[in-house]
Amino acid sequence: MQHSDMTAKIAKGQGFIAALDQSGGSTPKALKGYGIDESAYSGDDEMFALIHQMRSRVITSPAFTGAKVLGAILFEKTMDGTVDGKPTPTTLLDRGVIPFIKIDKGLEDEANGVQLMKPMPELSALLTRAKGLGVFGTKERSVVNLANREGIAAVVKQQFEVGQQVLAHGLMPIIEPEVNIKSPERAQADQILLEEILKQLDALPEGQQVMLKLSIPAKAGLFDPLVDHPKVLRVVALSGGFSRTEACAELAKNRGMIASFSRALLNDLRHQMSDDQFNASLGQAIDEIYDASVDKVPA
């Protein structure tokens, strides 16, 4: 698939982006949810081998194809690994699923109501390697906990600065300033975030585009100006702690936003399932998330 074909599919395709990017800190929780307790492995190597087996099972499932899954966000180790004897990005592309890579190295401690991204000293090398493996884009996450304009402005500025590095390597950045859905100031934070993102978008050079990954807003339709912005390729939504049922119901109220769910996609899968059970459960989750991404309802 050529880069232009991938761009067109992400921009206009019917479906959603799967988030398969749990990293070091979140992997034990992901494995536990999958039915593998920490007593079943010793050390990071065994842990990452088990999570890779889970992701491989997802990626090779008959339910996981480009018909409903437009793209998949990978953890670095998953990108560098193999599935079905081929590099993971190649296996995804063979299934019509466009590969992305999570590039952030975690979060700084909270200041001004937000958590900025930690430094990424090896980012250029990672981007070069990802491009060489056929990866289309990246994802980088920060967190907004409170409606503090100074903090939110700093988060968005940092995100767009990293996005410029990504664009310079010929990759598409997914900018992810996540608003904590449990924040007591969630609606106000959403509004400030919208305003700060619009400022940064307007400052982007002509011809450049980014993607946005945002928490589903407290007020349905709030992010319509981002959906319609010519410098935004696509707006995707994270589930942010909502159950799949809740996340799908809220997402369906927001025109133009498609899902990029992790827990809400994988939550019902278990290591002990037979292949038929696993594929049926994954298929049901994919169908529900696809419907919420494609079939919108009045708010």
Give the active site residues: 176, 213
**Cβ atoms of residues 248 and 296 within 8 Å:** no
User: What backbone phi and psi angles, to 5 degrees, belong to 255?
Assistant: -60, 135
**Cβ atoms of residues 293 and 19 within 8 Å:** no
Which has the closest alpha carbon to 255: 284, 286, 288, 219? 219
Q: What is the torsional sign of CA 280, 285, 288, 292?
A: negative
Burial of 112 (0-12, 13-18, 19+ CB in 10 A): middle
User: What is the rounded distance in angstroms from the CA atom of residue 186 to the CA atom of residue 238?
Assistant: 15
- Structure tokens that stand for 42 in this block: 């010793």
